[in-house]
Amino acid sequence: MVDSLAFYPGCLVLQRMPEYEAATRAVLGALGIELRLVQKAACCGSPVVESFTADWVYLAAYNLALVEGMGHRAVATVCGGCTNTLARAARALRADPEVRAEANRRLEPMDLSVTGEVEPIHLVRLLAEQEEALRARIVHPLSLRVALTNPCQVFRPSEVVLTAEDAEGAKGEDWKSLRPLRFDEDHMAPQSLRRLVELTGAEVVEYGGEDECCGATLYLADPGLALAAGRRKLEAVGGADLLLHGCGNCHLLLRRFQRKITHGEPALRKRALLLPQLVGLAMGLPEESLGLRKGTWR
């Protein structure tokens, strides 16, 4: 079992969702995994940055270099955008000597270097790979009906979100022949998050938008379209007790922006939890350690 991992929570979680970081640390700590925060990290180089400069890859390379400097070959993430961006940057650094050389030229004044060998591991995958250990820790099965939103950028596109071993073995091959994430065989309709929810005793509510984008990344470019995407999800999950998110972007739009989405229609509103909060409750961890008010969920 991995006992220590570098941890890159990303800007959104660090600045606006301390409960996500707290719950992640609590759950993984209970499973014997210590998270070491990547110090002096910058923005991952997200799709927002990529939309206006090709230099996004060097911002991501800086963060990967910090992880390599810590002596780690993997970094835990909790944001779909961060996971996808770091994974694509790592792939570019491994595959393209010119990109790698330019990244290292820029990093040299900071006494850093990068190879691209660091593998980003999102919390969904991390918990999925600890399924048996997690099953043994479930002491408080939850009687809840849960509507989940899969963090789309964790699973798609399959050609870039690969394990390091898959990517190494695929050199020179057509990426379309590659299978998707090792921990989930269907990148268009992933099952990993669903299995984790079911492990807690909760029931997963079926609805058509489970694998659709939440709309959060659209918000900066077209707020109306983003809120419409969120509304479509809320309208489809009427029978659920709560929404479950494995990405800070999903939680931002579907929980923090709920009042903007519903426009005073309280019937559409839903409570929401982050993945480690739901898992932590089923593990019997103190609510306060999960960033929840005591007595709110028990």
Tokens of 151: 């963090």
Residue 147: phi, psi to the nearest 5? -105, 115
CATH class of this structure's domain 139-290: alpha beta
**pLDDT digit string, tens, across residues 158-191:** 665 555 455 455 444 433 333 334 556 666 777 8
**What are the distances in angstroms from CA 257 to CA 35, 46, 214?**
29, 21, 12
**pLDDT digit string, tens, across residues 102-160:** 999 999 999 999 999 999 999 999 999 999 999 999 999 999 999 999 988 888 776 65
**b/e per residue 195-214 (b: at least 16 CB within 10 A):** ebbebbebbbbebebbbebb
Strand order in the sheet with 74-77: 34-37, 4-8, 74-77, 119-122
Q: Boundaries of CATH 3.40.50.11810 in the chain?
A: 139-290
What pLDDT band is residue 294 in, cutting at 50, 70 and 90? confident
Which amino acid, residue 103? Answer: A
Q: Boundaries of CATH 1.20.1050.140 in the chain?
A: 4-124
- The predicted pLDDT at position 53 comes to 81
58 contact partners, CB below 8 Å, separation of at least 6? 45, 102, 103, 106
- The predicted pLDDT at position 221 comes to 85
pTM, to two decimals:
0.90
Rounded to whole angstroms, the Cα distance separating 65 from 269 reads 42
Whether residue 95 has pLDDT greater than 50: yes
Whether residue 61 has pLDDT greater than 90: yes
DSSP 149: E
- The predicted pLDDT at position 180 comes to 36
Whether residue 6 has pLDDT greater than 70: yes
**What are the distances in angstroms from CA 132 to CA 128, 279, 292?**
9, 13, 26
**b/e per residue 157-167 (b: at least 16 CB within 10 A):** ebbbbbbbeeb
Per CATH, which fold does 4-124 belong to?
Glutathione S-transferase Yfyf (Class Pi); Chain A, domain 2 (1.20.1050)
Rounded to whole angstroms, the Cα distance separating 92 from 74 reads 16
| Cβ pair 12, 252 in contact under 8 A | yes
Rounded to whole angstroms, the Cα distance separating 74 from 68 reads 9
157 contact partners, CB below 8 Å, separation of at least 6? 187
Strand order in the sheet with 203-204: 203-204, 145-149, 242-245, 271-274
DSSP-assigned beta bridge partners for residue 259: none
